[in-house]
Amino acid sequence: VDIVGSGPSSKVVATLPSGESVEVLLYGATVTSWKSNGGQTENLWLSEKAALDGTKAVRGGIPVVFPVFGPPPKSGHPTSSLPQHGFARTSRWEFLGKSASEDALGSNSVKLDFGLETSGVSDEARKAWPLDFALQYSVTLTKDSLQTVVNVRNEGEQSFEFQFLLHTYLRVNDISKVTINGLLGVEYIDKVLNATTHQQADMSLKITGETDRVYKSIPQDTTSVLEDGKPLFDVVRDNLQDTVVWNPWVEKAAAMGDFAPNDGFKNMVCVEVGTVDGWQKLDKGEVFEGGQIIKSLL
Ligand code: BG6
């Protein structure tokens, strides 16, 4: 009953009694919509040309990146034959169920659980990364927040290394008025500047051109997105130390076939929490858990 549609475009939709809602495509377990303020405010940016039929990773929402972030190491790493950002975002996940709850103060929440195991990925991906894993991904909606948490388990005999990231496309009204706080003093790799290392010197990061930065080992828990000086979102990391800030700007946006409208980059910024600097290692039977809470503050 909770699954809407059938085939590759099926999704799970959950709504709170107060009107807030979330939509998760089974393909990639990609959150494609999250509305707060009684359902009035869409918090995620989704390209008008995003493929929602399972033919391509979704351009927008919250794609799940696993087991490698970005282009994999050229050779010599078990992930080397995988596509950019791995296979989780292009695999069909299983819907494991929905649980609704109400706390003592009468606040409602709903949690959706999704699973992906080795047997659920394409033959191609399994051949490229022949390791036994199980992912569980929980998406919890409250009145003013969305929590997304992954649990990674090594189900095999062999240990493995992975990276993980939540590629969240936050919706903003006007990127020229956006500032991102909570990264002061943090070292980052600037992918726009030949992957050189820098340190965040300003309290507020402004997006004024193509931006593609990997902030590493961030001591602060929260990255805040403000517009016109007003807090829009707090992105709170849980057991994830890194955050990518990405905006393709004019040329890169135009070069992506599934990015629309062309000036859509003015209405989005990706704040992507993850563990992408180096590798997480799991031995047989071990588990890793990490995620985020995004608070909608408007
Ligand atoms: C970001 C990367 O996380 O994702 C960028 O840092 C990349 O380098 C962007 O361009 C989009 O990736 P993709 O594979 O979805 O086009």
When the pLDDT of each residue in the chain is averaged and rounded to a whole number, the result is: 97
Which atom of ligand 1 is least distant from the CA of 63? 15
Q: Which of 210, 272, 286, 289 is catalytic?
A: 272
Q: Give 245 Cα–ligand 1 centroid separation in angstroms.
A: 10
ipTM above 0.90, yes or no: yes
DSSP letter for 26, please: T
Is the pLDDT reported for residue 195 higher than 90? yes
Is the pLDDT reported for residue 57 higher than 90? yes
Residue nearest to atom 5 of ligand 1 (CA): 212
| 42 classed as catalytic | no
Instruction: Note the pLDDT of residue 1.
Output: 55
pLDDT, mean of residues 186-201: 98
For residues 266 and 75, give the distance between their C-alpha atoms in angstroms, rounded to a whole number.
36
Q: Give 251 Cα–ligand 1 centroid separation in angstroms.
A: 14
Which atom of ligand 1 is least distant from the CA of 167? 3
pLDDT, mean of residues 37-54: 98
Which of 95-109, 146-160, 283-297 has the least mean pLDDT? 95-109
Higher pLDDT, 46 or 298: 46
**Alpha-helix residue ranges (DSSP H) falling in 137-294:** 249-255
Query: SS in 3 state form for 153-176?
Result: EECCCCCEEEEEEECCEEECCCHH
Q: Which domains does the chain have, with CATH numbers?
A: 3-296 (2.70.98.10)
* pLDDT tens per residue across span 244-277: 999 999 999 999 999 999 999 999 999 999 999 9
- Ligand 1, pocket-test mutation among 167, 214, 265, 276, most atoms within 8 A of CB: 167
Instruction: Note the pLDDT of residue 294.
Output: 99
| 272 classed as catalytic | yes
Q: Give 70 Cα–ligand 1 centroid separation in angstroms.
A: 6
For residues 197 and 178, give the distance between their C-alpha atoms in angstroms, rounded to a whole number.
24
Is the pLDDT reported for residue 206 higher than 90? yes
Pocket residues: Cβ below 6 A from ligand 1: 57, 70, 84-85, 167, 191, 212, 244, 246, 272
pLDDT, mean of residues 139-168: 98
Is the pLDDT reported for residue 90 higher than 80? yes
Q: Give 260 Cα–ligand 1 centroid separation in angstroms.
A: 16
Q: Give 85 Cα–ligand 1 centroid separation in angstroms.
A: 8
* pLDDT tens per residue across span 26-40: 999 999 999 999 999
For residues 79 and 61, give the distance between their C-alpha atoms in angstroms, rounded to a whole number.
25
Is the pLDDT reported for residue 233 higher than 70? yes
CA angle, 48 then 50 then 53, to 5°:
125
What is the percent of the chain where pLDDT is above 70? 100
Instruction: Note the pLDDT of residue 113.
Output: 98
Instruction: Note the pLDDT of residue 298.
Output: 87
